[in-house]
Amino acid sequence: MNIPEHVKAEFKIKFDSLDEAKLVLKSIEPEIQTAPSEKSSVKINLDGKTLKLIIDAEDTPSFRASINSYFRWIILSYEVNSLKNNPKDN
């Protein structure tokens, strides 16, 4: 099996508002600073309402693991914020 030695990609996620984008960025920044993997690195920044995520990995499995982790954290922080802003009446 031939596994690429280096994989890099940039993802852009556009939010409805700048506040939403800032909140998600703030929520996942600790994960970036304490990332346990030495096989991948992640850079993230904000361009208006667009969150840019750049993943650079040594190989495909590390790349896939990073994508899964960061997108899970992004989705979770977005959903928590949505619940906070739109509580359901029980």
**Domains of the chain by residue range:** 20-85
Task: Give the Cα separation of 72 and 57 in Å (integer).
Answer: 18
Q: Is the dihedral of CA 72, 77, 19, 40 positive or negative?
A: negative
Per-residue pLDDT, 50: 97
Give the model confidence (pLDDT) of 39-75 as tens digits. 888 999 999 999 999 999 999 899 999 999 999 999 9
CATH code of domain 20-85:
3.30.310
Task: Give the Cα separation of 7 and 16 in Å (integer).
Answer: 30
Greater confidence (84 vs 78) lies with 78
